[in-house]
Structure 1
């Protein structure tokens, strides 16, 4: 049995409360189509990533964080020197995306785990995107939008966590002011 088949498959669009997610976090395969689309100010679109072979990580008080396989990435990404450490997944590496027609690159808003620890081995080298590029749309020449199936995701409050908020995800979520002590 492959590692992929050992990871449980999430239900499609089930209503979920972030307070029912586990701690330590859990990894699930997702049946949903995951996309990241760059839309230039002139309205032209570039697919950054598109897959039906993704994973999601569920952790108490957080919306799901999605991980897309390297094969789903349709544009060049450059690795940056930034690294962070997650007590559950290990050391993360970060990447830069250079939007078409823009002189402003978007750095450190995409991350991956080259050597994930424990049960997170299946997401080795998979990439996760913040739901918001973190750069002013005018300065960057556009913005990226993230989708689960055909629903554009909302942004997890704050700028530390990278969860994607969809209409089926409920409950008070960690990330915003006053939530760090939970």
Structure 2
């Protein structure tokens, strides 16, 4: 796949570093489950890693804690360590393992997101500055696709070898 050249006001995921950058972002972020706003924050941290759309992390107090139920799901990231998950429980049902966090990130740069939460846009409706977020393709990835980024990125058809 060939890298897409970013237009004015866009970023290429291929310009993101490895290990990932952890960038403060002051745009409003909202996360919805069905018709229920479950998180809202005017500050977040974008984790930008080579080849992937960024994931947005918000502070835990931005979330309605009453909808979060500890999940048995766990994953491991080479840059951040062990992730823990929450199911989101709302009036319309359950979004299993939809939200994750790193209680004790293993690498120094990631320590800024310790305890902060992110989520899968394929399971929840996410917005950045009012723009609807699209889910990154692939079942493993949780990148937030907005109009400001271009790829191609991991998870798209044909990227299994990356």
Q: Structure 2-normalised TM-score? A: 0.89
CA-to-partner distance for each residue in 1:93-133, whole Å, 9 max, x for gaps? 01011112x3x321112100010122111111111110111
**Counterpart selection for 1:147 from 104, 116, 127:** 127
Residue 42 of structure 1 aligns with which residue? none
Alignment gaps of 5+ in structure 2: 1-7
CA-to-partner distance for each residue in 1:33-74, whole Å, 9 max, x for gaps? 1110223xxxxx211100012101101110111111100002
> Quick one: distance in 2 between partners of 1:75 and 1:99?
12
SS at 1:122 equivalent: helix
Residue 33 of structure 1 aligns with which residue? 28
> Quick one: distance in 2 between partners of 1:14 and 1:36?
24
Residue 12 of structure 2 aligns with which residue? 17
**Counterpart selection for 2:100 from 105, 111, 136:** 111
Within-5 A mapping of 1:57-68: 57-68=47-58
> Quick one: distance in 2 between partners of 1:58 and 1:180?
20
Matched, 1:83 2:74: yes
In the alignment of these two chains, the number of paired residues is 153
> Quick one: distance in 1 between partners of 2:20 and 2:161?
18
SS at 1:105 equivalent: strand
Residue 113 of structure 2 aligns with which residue? 123
Q: Structure 1-normalised TM-score? A: 0.80
Residue 142 of structure 2 aligns with which residue? 162
> Quick one: distance in 1 between partners of 2:29 and 2:17?
23
RMSD: 1.5
| Greater fraction of residues in strand | 2
> Quick one: distance in 1 between partners of 2:44 and 2:23?
9
Alignment gaps of 5+ in structure 1: 1-12, 40-44, 134-143
What stretches of structure 1 move > 2 A for 4+ residues in a row? none
